[in-house]
Chains A and B, each alone.
Chain A
Amino acid sequence: MPQEKVEFLKGTLDMLILKVVAAGPIHGYAISQRIQQISRDFFQVPQGSLYPALHRLEEQDWLEAQWKDTSTGREAKFYTLTRKGRKQLETEVSNWERLSDAVALILRTAE
């Protein structure tokens, strides 16, 4: 259960979604579950942010979607990463790393 609400930094949700989708075709519910699991419940992805983000990414051609049967036989929308999306992910990850390194450096040395 959510202990406290953590706001996503601007743009980080998109990057996390891309990262999760990069592992293979996955539907919306599973994406929110994966993010929650991997972050050990640190991130709660509200549906109100998840779906507009998914649609935006699809509109930008970073994701593509297909309707497929799930293991339970129910039809669901599965997202996969496009080539453009993979490039975008790489850029965003490297940007993020440089940003977090810089932030960490300041936090460590500015005392």
Chain B
Amino acid sequence: MRWLRRLWQKSLTEKRLDSELQFHLEQQIAGYIASGLTPDEARRRACIEFGGLERFKEECREARWENHLDILARDFRVALRGLAKDRRFAFIAIFALALGIGASTAIFSVVDNALLEPFPYKDSRYLVTIRLHDKDQVDHWRGAFLFAEFQELMKQNHVFDAMVANLTDDIVYAAGDGNLRLAGNYVTPGTFEFFGVPPFLGRSLEAADYQPGAPPVFVLRHAAWVGKFNSDPSLIGKTFALNGVVRTLVGVTAPRFAWGGVDFWMPRSPDEPKLLSRDFPNYWGVVAHLKPGVSADEATADLAVIAQRLSTVYPKEYPKHFAMEVLSFSSAVLSPRFRNSLYIFLAAVGLLLLIGCGNVANLLLVRATAREKEFALRSALGASRFRLVRQLLVESFLLGVSGATLGILFAWAGVKTIAAVIPDFTIASETVIQMNWTVLLFALVVGIGTVFLFGLVPALQASRCDLSDSLRDTGKGVAGTAGRAGVRNAVIVLEVALSLTLLFTAGLFVRSFIALQEVPLGLQVDHVLTARIPLPPERYKTAAQLTSFYRPLLARLKSVPGIASAAETSTLPPYGGVRSEVEVPGKAHTEKWDTLFQLCSEGYFSVLRIQFLDGRPFTEAEVNDARKVAVINQTFRRRYFGNENPIGRSIHLKELKEFPDSLSEPWFEIIGVVADARNQGLQDPLWPEVWIPYTVTGSFMRGILVRTTNEPKSMIKAVGHEIWATDQSVAMAQPETLEYFLNLFTFAQPRFGLWLVTIFAAIGLVLVTIGVYSVIEYTTSRRTHEIGIRLALGAARADVLKMVLRKGLYLLLTGIVIGLSLSFALSRVLVSQLWGVSPYDRLTSIAVAGLLLLVGLIACWIPARRATRVNPSTALRYE
């Protein structure tokens, strides 16, 4: 460690060197005295002989490695001084670099986590889900299968290594002090081996657990264990009453294991299906592991054959024209709208990195041109090329490292922010958004690479160009050599074009978000509380049993102070109901007529404030007697009745025949027509819709809608209490305000997209402003001499201003024209992301072009104005 000590004790080393040489000198003097000289003479001779003491010292120093550090330190000092002198340049370059690196890394990380590697599962690239497509209808498919279908698929396929299935069910956990509603999954044998994620605590489900007669067990999800059971490790081995079955907790999954997005997993065993809370046909979600070398297309072809066979066995389950579809795991889990947004952001961020690096490159080129003379001079004075390169490398290093450090900071903050604001249900629940270090490294390499590459330009020039030319060129009247000026201008034009593309995209997002928020819902969502109420299946099967719960509950709720009205519902607006084929007597038609239907109580329309156009709502008596009456919406009337009066007419809802607690004659008499309220979300066209009394069948999942007079969330406890008072074995699931759900399902994703794109566009705009400013500033400063002459010869300041601005305007306009064509070409890709606005929206394009022009001109105007303030006499002397 001697070398290290020496580094810190440089002064000591220096002192020792002194005293060593001093000692030698003294010995020499002593020697001469001994040989008979006088002390003065001896000293004189010794000193002469010794010669240039400092030179020896320097030679001794150079023998030691730490002195190379000294030279390097000197380079650093020079570089720091140079950058400090050009502070504006340094800050802008560092900032541009950091923005480019930070923004691109942050978004790349999100895309990578959410899209490319979202799952912690073994071989997740080979995992696929299967769904059945109805070819006669747009976007109509079923992604789950009867258990028998699943078994056949497993037996007959030639393309999968393994297949597993799961079935989600609402489970009421009877804790000592009340009920807790959990989401559970029944899973098939081999599920945990299939995913290959070792448990966090205890064990996973094993083959023996699936055997008939095996003791009931379950595995808890890590998030549920932390959130609902206080991370208590002593729970392993304890028993829990789940839907009336006493199950032993055998393990807690690894934190990211979230298959099915439920709270816990139970083995499916043959005697279990009867425990389910609903007993209409159960559909199992299916995942499969592709055999190595089998493509998704080959798998699709193989399954098509099996599906053809299955459609003859289960004709009711298959539409007329259908196709099997094999989807990679990530594409099946990630909502397609959001996936497209992510790709767009990915492109946007690539552009940002480009713009950021372009800026840095331009700044360095500008600086290189300004320093051409300095380097020519240094070269002429004998500085070796190596020395010049080293000096520049040190400078680039300082810029690069500062930019990179700030960039890492930006990236870190960006990832944290995005992870915090990403809306629920837009990405797989297994996904963990965190910094991707490979991507960070990539951005750093690109960024720092740019700095080093363009930072070395002056050294290359110095060694290449004719020295005397450079020295004679005093920078007067020449705005850099033509070739390099061309490169600089091209970079600026490109930056303007790219930034315009970003701004245009952001503008379209803003417009479409505004359009989305202005969609008339047709119902009032404020002050409405909603909750699903899963009922224990063994006691609530028939319509009468269901009514025996809801009738007293609704009566109780209405009497609670703070509750204006309450209703039963089978779905949550703005999404409506179950699809069914519908028949209207006296109406002949060739194509299939479809409608949505909902089961509700008489209070439904007043809770949601849906307007009646014709007829009347249900009466309490009609609901309680399960009379077969119906209310239809305006779209239904227009589509299936035209101009005829529908009141008093009958309709036939075929689907109601298919469910366990079915109606043999599902004919309903229309008693009212309501105004259209959104029932396919905000963006998709309305469907015909029918409401019928909830008391006609015991099937389907139900919940309540409650209109409150005060803050709806404050009523959650009171509502929960009334439910408990009605039946102590029942608990409500997900009590929330209707506004919250509306926000979550309809606005959250577009808002997220909007924010991201806007941030990108803002960063892009900042970078472009920097770029335009730096180039105009530089060219103007190079022309100070020329401007001085013009002013001295009597040019008006306005002329000078115009001259500088013209140059900027030319660059900006070229960029804007290119950018607009680029935007229009790209916006075709955007169509799926937009709503209520054309991808070629004129207002948006004019607005962003105007904004860019304005900002760009301000960036030009600052140096232009400075140029006009030049005092001619200083300018003429200026170099």
Chain A: residues with CB nearer than 8 A to chain B? Answer: 27-30, 32-33, 46-48, 51-52, 55-56, 59, 67, 74-77
Contacts and interface: CB of A to CB of B under 8 A. Distances in A.
Interface string B16-56: 10011101101110010000000000000000011110011
A56 B63 contact: yes
A52 to B, nearest CB: 4
B14 to A, nearest CB: 12
B131 to A, nearest CB: 73
Given A75-B19, A77-B16, A51 B27 contact: no
Nearest to B26: A74
Nearest to B31: A33
A59 B20 CA distance: 16
B56 A74 contact: no
B4 interface: no
B28 A29 contact: yes
A27 B20 CA distance: 9
Contacts of A52: 56, 59-60, 62-63
A31 B51 CA distance: 19
A47 B65 contact: no
Given A47-B24, A55-B63, A76-B20, 10 more contacts: A27-B23, A28-B23, A48-B55, A48-B56, A51-B20, A52-B60, A59-B63, A59-B64, A74-B26, A77-B20
A51 B56 contact: yes
Name the residue in B16, B21, B59, B63 with the highest tally of chain A Cβ atoms < 10 Å from its Cβ: B63
Name the residue in B19, B27, B59 with the highest tally of chain A Cβ atoms < 10 Å from its Cβ: B27
B738 to A, nearest CB: 80
B28 to A, nearest CB: 7
A30 B49 CA distance: 16
A47 B21 contact: yes
B59 A48 contact: yes
Residues of A contacting B: mostly: helix
7 contacts: A47-B49, A48-B55, A51-B21, A51-B60, A67-B16, A75-B19, A76-B20
Name the residue in B52, B59, B65 with the highest tally of chain A Cβ atoms < 10 Å from its Cβ: B59
Interface of B: 16, 19-21, 23-24, 26-28, 31, 49-52, 55-56, 59-60, 62-65
A71 B480 CA distance: 72
Contacts of B23: 27-29, 74-77
A85 to B, nearest CB: 15
Contacts of A32: 24
A46 B46 CA distance: 12
Nearest to A64: B2
Given A74-B26, A76-B23, A47 B51 contact: yes
A55 B59 CA distance: 9
A28 B62 CA distance: 18
Nearest to A46: B51
Contact of B64 (A55, A75, A76): A55
Residues of B contacting A: mostly: helix
Nearest to B20: A77
Given A28-B24, A55-B64, A59-B65, A47 B50 contact: yes
B35 to A, nearest CB: 10
Contacts of B64: 55, 59
A77 B13 CA distance: 12
A47 B57 CA distance: 10
Contacts of B21: 47, 51
Nearest to B65: A59
A27 B23 CA distance: 9
Contacts of A74: 23, 26
B60 A55 contact: yes
A32 B26 CA distance: 14
Contacts of B56: 47-48, 51-52
A30 B52 CA distance: 21
Nearest to A27: B23
- Minimum-distance CB pairs A-B, first 4: A29-B27, A52-B59, A55-B63, A56-B63
Contacts of A28: 20, 23-24
A46 B31 CA distance: 16
Name the residue in B16, B20, B65 with the highest tally of chain A Cβ atoms < 10 Å from its Cβ: B20
Nearest to A30: B27
Nearest to A57: B63
A51 B20 CA distance: 9
Contacts of B20: 28, 51, 76-77
A76 B16 CA distance: 10
Contacts of A27: 23
Contacts of B31: 33
A30 B63 CA distance: 21
B873 to A, nearest CB: 55
Contacts of B62: 52
Contacts of A75: 19, 23
Contacts of A56: 63
Nearest to B51: A48
A98 to B, nearest CB: 28
A35 to B, nearest CB: 14
Contacts of B28: 29
A29 B60 contact: no
Contacts of A67: 16
Contacts of B50: 47
Contacts of A77: 16, 20, 23
A63 B62 CA distance: 17
Nearest to A76: B23
A67 to B, nearest CB: 8
Nearest to B28: A29
